[in-house]
Amino acid sequence: MAKKKAGVAAVNQEVLGAIKTSAQDIHRKIVARKKPTMKFPVRSLANVKYRPDRGYFEIAGQKKERTLTVNTVKTFAQTLRMIALSKELVENDDIATKREAYYVSKNWEDARFNEQPESDTVMDDVEAFFSVNREQLGFIPEEKGGDVAGRLIVIDHDRDTGKTLRIDCTKFGSGAYSIPISVERLEFETSAAFILVIETAGMFQRLVKHNYWKQANCILVSMGGVPTRACRRFIRRLADFKKIPVYVFVDGDPYGITNIYRTLKVGSGNAAHLNEFFCVPQATFLGITPQDIVDYKLPTHPLKDVDVKRARDAIKNDPFIRHHKEWVKAIEQLLQMEVRAEQQALAKHGLNYVIETYLPEKLAHPERFLP
Amino acid sequence: MAKKKAGVAAVNQEVLGAIKTSAQDIHRKIVARKKPTMKFPVRSLANVKYRPDRGYFEIAGQKKERTLTVNTVKTFAQTLRMIALSKELVENDDIATKREAYYVSKNWEDARFNEQPESDTVMDDVEAFFSVNREQLGFIPEEKGGDVAGRLIVIDHDRDTGKTLRIDCTKFGSGAYSIPISVERLEFETSAAFILVIETAGMFQRLVKHNYWKQANCILVSMGGVPTRACRRFIRRLADFKKIPVYVFVDGDPYGITNIYRTLKVGSGNAAHLNEFFCVPQATFLGITPQDIVDYKLPTHPLKDVDVKRARDAIKNDPFIRHHKEWVKAIEQLLQMEVRAEQQALAKHGLNYVIETYLPEKLAHPERFLP
């Protein structure tokens, strides 16, 4: 418990230290009658590199400078106020969504934001400036998402009493643990062999209903579509902490592969300053693979135009897909077969075929999973 | 525990009994060389009544008949197979999503469905035929949604051991209990005074983070937008069981009022055969009311065209809104002010103004809530 408290404090102290240093720097320049300056990494696809060794899209060296002048005074002031709000949040163990931060600014008089996109941009700048993720600054996303069941104890604490809470994810019956919006302070205990990450709520519910995590000794995580930041960060922290692999089970279609899986594993282009925190490099692709459609004689749907476009795009432009020959081959196979298959298509062979046959057969050979 | 088991069995026995009776009826007719017939309520807005006394849109008396003929033989067979699948699910305490049921049919040879909309329609017919909700037949929706925190113990059971699981929603820290897709068998223990149902995940997270449920002695439920079936049914069963009121806290805009709140309270037009199970008649509207925008000097956004259209439509066509003069007045006020306000706009007065001032002030006068 003492260790935990110290851990929480350490994260906070680091952020608070960085905030104070930058504020003192600006203050010193003003007192010395010099123009204060802040440098932000440029956040755009053009300033991004794919780093196969690190496993994520990384922001390159380009920076933009914001110097205090007559033209920048309002944005400069807004940036400082946003940093001050972050300091207040961290000190008080509080949180604010982007939207709340926008409304808080309504009391900043001349520094108030007129529209939320303006305050979002400043928040993104601040996040990139400190090279931390927003959640560490006390800013949280609007959206929630991600459910967990199985061999995992999440360790949280009661805000009022400081008491440690041990949340046992084997004890929720047909329900699950819902991942909070900010997961930075959670700790974990688990003896699970792997994390099974599932696209659809329906498939997750089936595996939960049948206590599949017992049989497979694993942790089940439901993404419910494209995973939210909180869900990705939760999986990443858990996988890092316990050094266990992450197997991803999604629909066998271009959306499941290039949007859901790729976003989970290496992040996305337009948030490259964040991928370091939100990617899950230890993820591999269990299925549904294009070859599964053949091997398991799955019922299919024809590829839609949007699927074809997405698949061709990935082969041509996605640095992650292009880096992995196996992925290019798999997507070409899908294009050539002109079909896609949903993970629930396994129900053709019986509702619990997925539990009794498909997953055990696949899990016997994780070395064959797509990268 | 014995009581619980009996309770579960009773629900199942009732459904199984109804299935057997209808099957025997059809079988008897066939053996007697008569044409078997099934009667389904017509599922359309034209066959719906608003029943203020019962509190929901109710299906009227119109029925359609399906008699076994050369033309109907395939649909008739599919209906019987769907009923047989339901029987299997209920007997084995299993579940199937609409999508899974569609794929299961791929093994029904000539009775297989070609497209999922066909199997969805047959499932809806079966549901209306037995006058139960789909979940009681073992069929579950694809989508999940709804998080719970606060003064509530959910009672579920472990499928393998039969052991009772007591899930204490005060012990999830910054996380929450995620409502399962089917909630028919859950039981509850609570000493809470009311259920506070919240539109946005961000606001829910704030109230959870600050243990607001302790101070207010309540149960917090996050809908995350328009509530899913599971979320609505969960709130309904909980409110019925404990006879406690449901207060709804959503954005002050036509979408929050006519889509989210109205759907939660009385159900929707195109699923009238279900509203009996999914409506929450004990719900009242805490805020954000149009008058709150004035009283709390909230920052606003202008109404968009779609908001205006939605508001005018509700006043003109929505039987629930039209039945309640207060609602017509409130929506007219919104139209006249030409603005809308998000629940997080309260942050203008400080991030925790909602906890320290707004909610306590509103909760002091539940008799003033909109109906």
B4 falls in which pLDDT band (50, 70, 90)? Answer: very low
User: What distance lies between CA A327 and its chain's CA centroid?
Assistant: 22
Question: Within chain A, where are the H helices?
Answer: 2-31, 73-91, 98-104, 116-129, 201-209, 212-216, 229-242, 254, 262-266, 275-278, 290-295, 305-317, 319-323, 325-337, 353, 359-363
- Total Cβ atoms within 10 A of residue A319: 14
Percent of chain A scoring above 70 in pLDDT: 94
What pLDDT, on a 0 to 100 scale, did the predictor assign at position A281?
Answer: 92
For the stretch A182-227, pLDDT in tens is 898 899 999 999 999 999 999 999 999 999 999 999 999 999 888 9
Terminal-to-terminal C-alpha distance of chain A: 39
What pLDDT, on a 0 to 100 scale, did the predictor assign at position B133?
Answer: 84
Burial class for A117, CB neighbours closer than 10 Å (0-12, 13-18, 19+): exposed
For the stretch B300-323, pLDDT in tens is 999 999 999 999 999 998 888 999
Contact between chains at B180 and A157 (C-beta distance less than 8 A)? no
Look up residue A211 and give its DSSP letter: T
Nearest to B179 among A175, A210, A342 (CB): A175
Burial class for A325, CB neighbours closer than 10 Å (0-12, 13-18, 19+): exposed
Does residue B267 come out as left (phi exceeding 0), alpha (psi in the -120 to 50 range) or beta? left
Look up residue A201 and give its DSSP letter: H
What pLDDT, on a 0 to 100 scale, did the predictor assign at position B2?
Answer: 36
What pLDDT, on a 0 to 100 scale, did the predictor assign at position B174?
Answer: 94
Question: Within A92-228, where are the H helices?
Answer: 98-104, 116-129, 201-209, 212-216
Query: Residue A199, SS3?
Result: coil
Phi, psi of B218 (to 5 degrees): -140, 175
For the stretch A319-361, pLDDT in tens is 889 999 999 999 999 999 999 999 999 999 999 999 999 999 9
Q: Is the CB of residue B125 less than 8 Å from the CB of residue B81?
A: no
Contact between chains at B104 and A211 (C-beta distance less than 8 A)? no
Contact between chains at B157 and A173 (C-beta distance less than 8 A)? yes
State the DSSP string of B157-221.
Answer: E-TTT--EEEEETTS-TTSEEEPPS--TT-EEE---SEEEEES-HHHHHHHHHTTHHHHHTEEEE
For the stretch A65-92, pLDDT in tens is 888 888 888 999 999 999 999 999 999 8
Q: Is the pLDDT score of B7 beyond 60?
A: no
What is the residue type of A316? K
For the stretch B225-279, pLDDT in tens is 889 889 999 999 999 998 999 999 999 999 999 989 999 998 876 666 677 788 9
User: What distance lies between CA A335 and its chain's CA centroid?
Assistant: 29
Angle at B297 between CA A122 and CA A78, to 5 degrees: 15
Q: Does A351 touch chain B (CB under 8 A)?
A: yes
Encoded tokens for B16: 């199984």
B6 falls in which pLDDT band (50, 70, 90)? Answer: very low
Q: Is the pLDDT score of B119 beyond 50?
A: yes
Name the closest residue on chain A to residue B116, using Cα atoms: A301
The whole-angstrom distance between A60's CA and the closest CA on chain B is 32
What pLDDT, on a 0 to 100 scale, did the predictor assign at position B272?
Answer: 66
What pLDDT, on a 0 to 100 scale, did the predictor assign at position A167?
Answer: 97
Q: Is the CB of residue B285 less than 8 Å from the CB of residue B329?
A: no
Q: Does B210 touch chain A (CB under 8 A)?
A: yes
Instruction: Give which of A98, A110, A122 is closest to A43, Cα–Cα.
Output: A122
What pLDDT, on a 0 to 100 scale, did the predictor assign at position B79?
Answer: 94
The whole-angstrom distance between B185's CA and the closest CA on chain A is 10
Name the closest residue on chain B to residue A105, using Cα atoms: B348
Q: Is the pLDDT score of A6 beyond 50?
A: no
Cα separation, A160 vs A139, in Å, equals 21
Q: Please pick, among B50, B103, B177, B261, the residue that the annotation labels catalytic.
A: B103
What pLDDT, on a 0 to 100 scale, did the predictor assign at position B270?
Answer: 61
Cα separation, B268 vs B278, in Å, equals 9
What pLDDT, on a 0 to 100 scale, did the predictor assign at position B110?
Answer: 92
Which chain B residues contact residue A123 at CB under 8 A?
Answer: none
Question: Within chain B, where are the H helices?
Answer: 2-31, 73-91, 98-104, 116-129, 201-209, 212-216, 229-242, 254, 262-266, 275-278, 290-295, 305-317, 319-323, 325-337, 353, 359-363
Q: Is the pLDDT score of A362 beyond 60?
A: yes
What pLDDT, on a 0 to 100 scale, did the predictor assign at position B316?
Answer: 92
Contact between chains at A351 and B224 (C-beta distance less than 8 A)? no
Which carries the bigger pLDDT value, residue B286 or residue B38?
A: B286
The sign of the torsion formed by the CA atoms of A316, A319, A320, A325 equals positive
H/E element holding B154?
A: strand B153-157
Which chain A residues contact residue B159 at CB under 8 A?
Answer: 173-174, 209-211
Look up residue B364 and give its DSSP letter: T
Q: Please pick, among A103, A177, A247, A358, the residue that the annotation labels catalytic.
A: A103
For the stretch B46-104, pLDDT in tens is 676 777 777 777 777 778 888 888 888 899 999 999 999 999 999 988 999 989 999 99
H/E element holding A187?
A: strand A187-189
Q: Is the CB of residue B287 less than 8 Å from the CB of residue B334?
A: no
Q: Is the CB of residue B176 less than 8 Å from the CB of residue A180?
A: yes
Q: What number is the ipTM of this complex?
A: 0.87
Q: Is the pLDDT score of A2 beyond 60?
A: no
Most B CBs within 10 Å: which of A155, A181, A353, as the mutation test of the B interface?
A: A181
The per-residue pLDDT of chain B, averaged, comes to 89
Q: Which of A63-67, A207-211, A285-289, A304-308 has the lowest mean pLDDT?
A: A63-67
Which carries the bigger pLDDT value, residue B260 or residue B5?
A: B260
What pLDDT, on a 0 to 100 scale, did the predictor assign at position B46?
Answer: 64
For the stretch A139-179, pLDDT in tens is 988 787 899 999 999 999 998 888 999 999 999 999 999 99
Encoded tokens for A304: 């839609």
Which chain B residues contact residue A104 at CB under 8 A?
Answer: 347-348, 350-351
Cα–Cα separations (whole angstroms), residue B297 to A115, B289, B293, B352? 18, 12, 6, 16
Does residue A103 have an active-site annotation?
Answer: yes
Count how many Cα atoms sit within 13 Å of the Cα of residue A79 in the half-sphere of its side chain.
27
Cα separation, B167 vs B147, in Å, equals 13
Name the closest residue on chain B to residue A175, using Cα atoms: B180
Size of interface A-B (CB pairs under 8 A): 191
Q: Is the pLDDT score of B5 beyond 50?
A: no
Phi, psi of A348 (to 5 degrees): -55, -40
Q: Does A163 touch chain B (CB under 8 A)?
A: no
The per-residue pLDDT of chain A, averaged, comes to 89
Cα–Cα separations (whole angstroms), residue A111 to A81, A105, A116, A118, B335? 8, 7, 13, 11, 30
Cα separation, A304 vs A366, in Å, equals 30
Nearest to A158 among B96, B97, B173 (CB): B173
Most A CBs within 10 Å: which of B351, B353, B355, as the mutation test of the A interface?
A: B351
What pLDDT, on a 0 to 100 scale, did the predictor assign at position A42?
Answer: 76
Contact between chains at A174 and B180 (C-beta distance less than 8 A)? yes
The whole-angstrom distance between B295's CA and the closest CA on chain A is 17
What pLDDT, on a 0 to 100 scale, did the predictor assign at position B235?
Answer: 97
Count how many Cα atoms sit within 13 Å of the Cα of residue A144 in the half-sphere of its side chain.
30
Q: Is the pLDDT score of B22 beyond 70?
A: yes
Q: Which of A5-9, B99-103, B163-167 has the lowest mean pLDDT?
A: A5-9
Q: Does B107 touch chain A (CB under 8 A)?
A: yes
Tokens 């019925």, located at residue: B240
Encoded tokens for B58: 């109710």
Cα–Cα separations (whole angstroms), residue A247 to A197, A239, A355? 6, 11, 15
